Chains A and B, each alone.
Chain A
Amino acid sequence: MTSRRNFLRSCLAGGAAAASAVLPETACARDTLVRPPEGLGLLYDATLCVGCQACVAACKQANENPAEFTAMDKLWDTPLDTSGHTFNLIKMYRNGTMETKDSELNGFSFMKTSCMHCADPSCVSACPVSAMTKDPVTGVVGYDPDACIGCRYCVAACPFGIPKYQYDSPTGKIGKCELCRHRHKDGHYSACAEVCPTGATLFGRTEDLLAEAKRRLAVKPGEWTTIPRGRLPAKGETPEQAAQWKGLVDQSYQAKVGNYLQHVYGETEYGGTQVLKLSAVNFQKAGLPDLPPKSSAATSETIQHTLYGGLIMPLAVLAGLTWVAKRNVVPEDDEASKNQKGGQS
């Protein structure tokens, strides 16, 4: 009867391992991460965008990316989507006669496509070798090709479809917007915001950008208001702090406020992103995913840490399995031990 008792015991051991997989969120649960207080980002206002693609060209130049030709004559850079060599692109929503800008019906609208710099990025959680990292101060989601193994789990994980791999190269890297962090030390902020003629893309601290976005949403559509361009000064910024950035402090101008949807995209999606967006056209129609406030990274890491936190569960199961296996494994030519165990078959 030894075998039946062993069978039941081992069922328990196996059962414990299986049950661990369905445990509800317990003490190991990891909440969705929030934006760092000094985090940097962009505010994109689709109603101000004129679709000039100056930001696309500036991005290519700042990141030393080659042109991508999709037209027959190969006269200029015509990427069809963001790619391993295109980190920023202005896309267009079109409907019917396309008469009116920022109208869902018979209208059109622009939408910027680039990294959202999530508060709780899926790519960072997915990356097995820490090639994708989130800067604890600026919150910039950066990429390190020297660490990367090219598994492309980040590409699969990102709900915005942002990290992209360079399939055309035997030593391909992942390409994505890093908010021009390599230019920050020279006092340059994101190239797309630096060149934007209308202030549709604005660089700054995400908290200040969020306040600016809410200010615009509060103004009655069609009324005139001041629109900053380039960089939005941080709230309570000292002249010393301002001096670290090149360019004119005040490039603002007067413009009419658009007929916004009352939603700042990126305020709560996946726990918030550091790039925020305003639009008069439905965000999903303009190509942005509808995301819950809880990040997938939080769900994934909660499961992962519930199962493997401190390796307690695996070690406990291993101890049980070892105990059972020690009783059941008989060296093949050890007759004495075989007889001792009673050898039923």
Chain B
Amino acid sequence: MSAHHPAAPVGGKLFNLPVMICGLLIAAMFAVLFVRFIFGLGAVTNLNDGYPWGIWVVVDVVIGSAFACGGFSVAMLVYIFNRGHYHPLVRPALLASLFGYTLAGVGVLFDLGRWWNFWHILWPGYANPNSVMFEVAVCISAYITVMWIEFSPVFMEQWGLKVQKQKLEKVLFFFIALGTLLPMMHQSSLGTMLVVMGPQVNPLWQTPIVPLLYLLSAITIGYGIVLFESCIAASAYRREIEMHLLQPMAKIMLGVLAAFLAVRFGDLVVRGALGHALKPSLEAFFFWLEMACFVAPYFIVGTAGARRNPARLFVAGCSIMLGGILLRINGFLIGYDTGLGVDHGWNYFPSIAELLVTLGMFALEVLGYIIITRRFPVLPREGAAH
């Protein structure tokens, strides 16, 4: 186990331009949500009988939670694969995950048509263990709780709760194990949610091994998002980029990505579904776009030399994130068609109001990240990085 680099609050003013912009976006979100809760989903969204799920489910929850996999991916590296020197990345990654997941959990409520019944999903009398969504909901709820426990030493440190912190740290290993298992379970299940939709999902994304694809891609996205966040945080706070950590992590990321691509293509070949990628269709176009985003990192940071360039690491992180976005949007929206054999002409493109809510949720995450990193010990103390 490595020596830990102490974390420290970044400090600085809380009222600045980024915070103001976040505040504005959050206010716009609440305005839309007010209308949604008074007049119903149809008043603000472009959801329809052909596309019952829009971006609030696919982006805020399915993609949002995958983006929140940084905490899980890094914690797995540090605590499970015993790569202790990545430890300075744990807290910032965990913080981003914490917000990502908590808001994905809250975001679901906006989309639920009968939201006041939401507790049924965790209530034995109602729960349906055959439902993939039940599994996702239980795991995500448990994971949010576990993450707050994993993160609570940060608050205890700040508030001087030394005794409580020591007590918690004696059992923290169990929560870390649980915090590795739960995202593995529900990230795979997010993919399994497609299975019951059967032939309505294009064969390019409908496969019995979809849980493995979603799990592997979530781990990869986790590393991609750490690259992205580290670069952003370093640039925004004018700090040194933790290149000595990001470089080797990028290499690990490429390894997991290779496993993902092997499974992705192997599955398409075995099922004989590759033909769908060769038809001149919107689905095929988006499939190749998804592939391009997943393959691009090998060209961007494939060599050790290229990995020494922070800009390249940042772009590679973005590329992986985009690939992950496309895998999920393609499965749930672009490759989903309830056409019933004849063209019903169902279309979906998010309304401005829907986009405002999704933007507002991201703004809430950014705002939370700024406030907590400025006031609580999350990022490594400047100067202690080497």
Contacts and interface: CB of A to CB of B under 8 A. Distances in A.
Contact of B166 (A168, A169, A331, A345): A331
A169 B40 contact: yes
Interface in B134-182: 134-135, 137, 153, 166, 169-170, 172-174, 176-178, 180-181
Given A156-B53, A343-B3, A321 B181 contact: yes
Nearest to A327: B82
B3 A157 contact: no
Interface string A93-137: 000000000000000000000000000001001111111000000
A172 interface: yes
Given A127-B128, A284-B342, A318 B81 contact: no
Contact of A171 (B114, B193, B344): B114
A83 B170 CA distance: 56
Contacts of A151: 108, 111-113, 133
A245 interface: no
Contact of A296 (B45, B178, B198): B198
Interface stretch (A49-57, A206-214, A302-310): A302-310
Interface in B45-70: 45, 47-50, 52-53
Contacts of B174: 322, 325-326
Contact of B338 (A22, A161, A330): A161
Given A21-B209, A151-B112, A159-B199, A304 B117 contact: no
Contact of B131 (A84, A127, A160, A283): A127
A138 interface: no
Contacts of A61: none
Contacts of B173: 322, 325-326, 328-329
B28 interface: no
Interface string A165-177: 1111111111000
Dominant SS at the B interface?
Answer: helix
A216 interface: no
Given A161-B338, A325-B80, A329-B176, A125 B114 contact: no
A314 B135 contact: no
B314 interface: no
A255 B268 CA distance: 51
A115 to B, nearest CB: 14
Interface string A129-164: 111000000000000011111111101110111001
B133 A21 contact: no
B146 to A, nearest CB: 12
A153 B48 CA distance: 13
B236 interface: no
B200 A159 contact: yes
Contacts of A295: 198
Interface residues of B, number: 82
Nearest to A150: B113
A166 B39 CA distance: 12
A131 B117 CA distance: 11
Interface string B98-120: 00000000001001111101101
Interface in B67-104: 76, 78-82, 84-85
Contact of A304 (B2, B4, B108, B132): B132
A321 B118 contact: no
B290 to A, nearest CB: 20
Interface in A277-293: 283-285, 287-292
Interface string A10-50: 11011001100110000000000000000000000000000
B180 to A, nearest CB: 5
A300 interface: yes
Contacts of A289: 199, 340-341
A291 B199 contact: yes
A331 B181 contact: no
Interface stretch (B184-192, B299-307, B361-369): B184-192
A145 B113 CA distance: 11
B126 interface: yes
Interface string B323-351: 00000000000001010111010000000
A18 B215 contact: yes
Interface string A60-81: 0000000000000000000001
A319 to B, nearest CB: 8
A332 interface: yes
B281 interface: no
A251 interface: no
A7 interface: yes
Contacts of B120: 129, 147, 149
A304 B198 CA distance: 15
B80 A147 contact: no
25 contacts: A2-B82, A3-B82, A128-B131, A128-B133, A129-B120, A130-B128, A149-B120, A150-B112, A156-B336, A157-B197, A159-B198, A161-B50, A161-B338, A165-B41, A167-B47, A287-B340, A291-B199, A308-B185, A317-B181, A318-B181, A324-B80, A325-B79, A326-B177, A328-B1, A328-B173
Given A7-B82, A83-B49, A303-B195, 5 more contacts: A131-B126, A149-B118, A171-B114, A326-B174, A329-B176
Interface of B: 1-4, 37-42, 45, 47-50, 52-53, 76, 78-82, 84-85, 108, 111-115, 117-118, 120-121, 126-135, 137, 153, 166, 169-170, 172-174, 176-178, 180-181, 184-185, 188-189, 192-193, 195-200, 208-209, 211-212, 215-216, 336, 338, 340-342, 344
